[in-house]
Structures are given as structure tokens and as C-alpha cells.
Amino acid sequence: MERLHIIALLNFAIICNLQYSTATDCHNPPPTDCCIRKKMRISLEDGDPVVLGNVPFVNVMEITTGTCGCNAKILLTATFQKHEYGDPYQGCTKVPECGNKMLRIDLEMAPSKTGVSFHVGDSRTNNGYKGDASTQEKDAEFHSLGYQHLLHGSDHCPNMSLVMTGLLSNSVTSVTIFIGNEFIRVSNNLGYVYELCSQCLFSLNGQSDSEGPVNEDIFIGLNRIIDSSSYRDGTGVCSAVVSWACPWSC
């Protein structure tokens, strides 16, 4: 009987680990004082962008009006909280934790997607294709380009530039992006999922930087590139919901 009890506990632990490694939503969430449950809802259709709701540590930096269709533009920034345990400078944040440690971005997309529909980076001057104006050495970025999606490592990983397909097509109506320290996970309504933990990715845990300020901020451009001086922009994001991912437990 004792042996069966031990086996049952081991099986339960395995199930818990699977939930932590594959789940994307809150399951049996902890008390509300652990989670930041507010959401920012953004409409980028038919002219003037509309922003409803405030999320702590998430701010609107720039807004640009559009014409008819999904082509208005917005630039956001989000500030991440440091981990309370372990090495403060390394470690992939693959599992949502309490507070503002993993950002969730839900995008509603038009069938037609042109240029840079979305851009996520941890340098204020990220301008696509693995570039910035030397304002951060930790300057990883992820962005769309038509129906492709590109993932570029920071200056510490000069050879990391991935060009991928599968996330975007005319049939894709929604995309979800999770961003954490050294972590990204993207998925769409057709079942595509891509996930990566790497020290080449976003530095969001207070890491020092030889070219710029301490690394704790992420920047999000929708229907545009992050760098305001860049001519690169795009269309295709009709609306977005931005929130901090809530922890789950077994």
C-alpha cells in the first residue's frame, strides 16, 4: 500500500510538471492579491485608436491614427519585476509567477497582414532585422514581416536570427504572445505553437547593460516598428488585450 501511495505521488508530480510546462492559462489560480488581473484593451480599427483600461507597469508611449481598416498604430512599454529567488541575472521565466513577471499579449488579426504587424523588443530603438541604435546591448526582438515571423537574439548572440512561418496566414484571426525573462511563447487560433527559452532572448530581470539602462522593460509596437524614427510599419492588428499572466497551481 505504501509503495502504491508513493507511485501515486510521483504521478501527481509529473502531471503538475506537465501543467507548468505546457499550460497557457490560469488553472486553480492563487489568491487575488498575488495576481495583477487588470487588462488593457486596444482597438486599432477605422481611424483613431481606442485604449480602455489601465494595467499597472504598462504604459502607452505613442499613438498614430489610421484610415479605414486595421492600420492605426500604437507603441507600449511594460516594466518587469525582478525574481525573488535564484540568480537575479539569469533564468528563463517559463512559468507565470506572482506580479508583473510575464506579459501576455492577445492580438485579433485581419486576414490581410502587411509589413510589420507587431514588434516586441527590449531596446527602445529596436528597428527590425536585428538592429537598434546601440542604446542596449541586450536588444533581442521578435516581429512579423508579412506572413513570416522573425526572432533575433541580442548583441551577445550575433548569429541568432530565425525566420519562421506558420504563425501567420490569411486564415489566422488571433495570435497570443507570452514574454518573460529569456522566454517567448507564441500561438495562433489554428493550433500553431512556438516556444523558446534562451539567454539570447529578452533580458527582463534587472540585468546590467554596457550600452544603456538596467534591463527591465519591454517595448511593443502594433502595426509599426518600435523605433519611432524608422519608416517600417505594417497593418493587420485590429485589436489587442495586454495583461500580466497569472500563476497557476496544481
The CATH number given to whatever domain includes residue 70 is 2.60.120
Q: What is the reported pLDDT for 53?
A: 96
- Spell 100-137 as b/e; 16+ CB within 10 A means b: bbbbbbebbbbeebbbbbbbbbbbbbbbbebbbeeebb
Question: Is 168 a domain residue?
Answer: yes
Residue 103: name the closest of 59, 41, 58 by CA.
58
Residue 115: name the closest of 225, 197, 194, 213 by CA.
225
Q: Identify the weakest region by mean pLDDT among 90-104, 108-122, 140-154.
A: 90-104
Q: What is the reported pLDDT for 237?
A: 98
- The mean pLDDT of 71-75, rounded to a whole number, is 96
Question: Is 250 a domain residue?
Answer: no
Question: Is 249 a domain residue?
Answer: no
Residue 160 in this model has a pLDDT that exceeds 80: yes
**Domains held by the chain: number:** 1
Check if the beta carbon of residue 235 is closer than 8 Å to that of residue 71.
yes
Residue 46 in this model has a pLDDT that exceeds 90: no
What's the pLDDT band for 6 if we cut at 50, 70, 90? very low
What's the pLDDT band for 161 if we cut at 50, 70, 90? confident
Residue 32 in this model has a pLDDT that exceeds 60: no
Higher-pLDDT residue of 20, 85: 85
Q: What is the reported pLDDT for 27?
A: 46
